[in-house]
Amino acid sequence: MPQAKTAISQVDAFTDRPFAGNPAAVCILSETASDRWMQAVAAEMNLSETAFLVSQADGYSLRWFTPAIEVNLCGHATLASAHVLWSEGHLPPEQEICFHTRSGLLTATLQNGWITLNFPAQPVTAIAAEPDLLRALRGAEPQFVGKNQTHYFVELASEQHVHLLQPDFALMQLLPTQGVIVTSQAEAAPVDFVSRYFAPAAGINEDPVTGSAHCALAPYWQKVLAKDDFLAHQISARGGVLQVRCVGDRVKISGQAVTVMRGDLLFDPLYDC
């Protein structure tokens, strides 16, 4: 039988208008829920990420689940979480938010309608292009191939090459990483670089806008373009815009967000799913 209601919101992140950017569900819990329950809710929501928050003395614990797995770092669901905490009156908008996560302490601040996340840089190391990766990219010719602990990283020759890429998701799902970041320099100012992100192994063929991927993208383009501040465009079907800045071993990722739905989960964390 249903238990007490648990509120949940759906937020489009890295956009200033509804039905664009990357949707995330945000669920604020009164106490920690079981992994099984959170994974079941994420599968039910069927979005690229569902965020679960629990208040604590110095901020909020924050965990992220795709429909298939829990992940260690997620940008758009963190931005969505901060948006919900401020817009729904949980915290005053001038207060910095501290999130305690699998990737350490992450913070969020709000200024002039833009939310800025402070994330760890995750630079990539150059590697030889592995045959399975090239097959998954279906003949695309990389200008650079790299890897960090979580992702393959591929630079293509142009924005058009990134836009037209049609990966083989069945092959990509077998690669020994969570996902593949594909990028190029942008064709026209003011955008500096474009990207797409694929993670079929995590239950997401293509993620609309991936904040965490910019923890690798920003340090890479910092070296290539010899600058620290960027305007980035993730050119998925929904698309999203990010302001990105390299600060030492951190990356500051800024974006906007819009709430598109609020509701109640009728089966709370005590429900045995």
Sequence-ordered list of residues with C-beta below 8 angstroms from that of 211, at least 6 positions apart, any chain: 13, 14, 74, 75, 76, 78, 79, 117, 119, 242, 253, 255
d(CA 117, CA 151): 20
Residue 18 CA to residue 151 CA, distance in Å, equals 29
Contact of 65 with 39, CB cutoff 8 Å: yes
Measured distance CA(91)–CA(94) in Å, rounded: 8
| Cα 124 to chain centroid, rounded | 17
Which helix (H) or strand (E) segment holds residue 254: the answer is strand 250-255
Residue 182: how many other CB atoms lie within 10 Å: 23
Alpha-carbon distance of 240 to 11, in angstroms, equals: 13
DSSP calls for 182-206: EEEE-SSTT--EEEEEEEGGGTEEE
User: So which residues are the catalytic ones?
Assistant: 49
